[in-house]
Amino acid sequence: MQYEKPSEKDISDISILFRKSFLEKKFSKKFSERVISIYLKNPEFSLVARDKNTIVGFIYAIDDASKILKNASFLDKMLPSTQLLLVPAKKYRNDAFVILTFVDKAYRNKGIGSELINRAINQIHKPLFCQIDMKNKSSMCMIKKCGAKLVETIGIFKKYGIYEL
């Protein structure tokens, strides 16, 4: 498995993986490519996991959670949970935050997601947080392998957890 910084030519492949990973909401090809291209154009932390020539995982993190507030209207359109990103953006404004992490279903439970997160932890030299739907078993398993600690729960019925990695 190779881990490397993605380039503009990877946008389409990452976009396909993005759409496959978030089945609860249908994303158009144009929308998902826009999301990924915005992330790749910003000087933040992003990394792909590549098996031969196939992208099988992706992570994007920001070094300052307050940057979420600058893109709030755009984030509202992404996922049902993105409204909740505004809570940590205010509270954890000087800390780093993982915005997206996803791994192809066929490659899950092989340590790829954990490796992506660990590489982010090692490169971003400040507290790193993430927000997880606590019913998402694969995400919960992945962050626990990375030693994440629950900091707080947010949202209706305390469905989402903010974890420090």
Q: Which of 65, 61, 77 is nearest to 118 (CA)?
A: 61
Beta bridge partners, 128, equal 96
CA distance 127 to 159: 23
* CATH number of the domain within which 156 lies: 3.40.630.30
Q: Is the pLDDT of residue 153 over 70?
A: yes
Out of 41-45, 66-70, 123-127, 132-136, give the one with best mean pLDDT: 123-127
How many structural domains does the chain have? 1
Q: Rounded to the nearest 5°, which phi and psi values hold at 55?
A: -80, 125
Q: What angle do CA 103, 79, 87 make, to 5 degrees?
A: 105
Question: Which helix (H) or strand (E) segment is 54 a member of?
Answer: strand 54-62
Containing structural domain, residue 116: 2-164
Predicted pLDDT at 97: 81
Retrieve residue 153's tokens.
């729960």
User: Mean pLDDT of all residues in the chain?
Assistant: 78
Identify the residue with better confidence: 21 or 71. Answer: 21
Tokens 């893109």: give the residue. 71
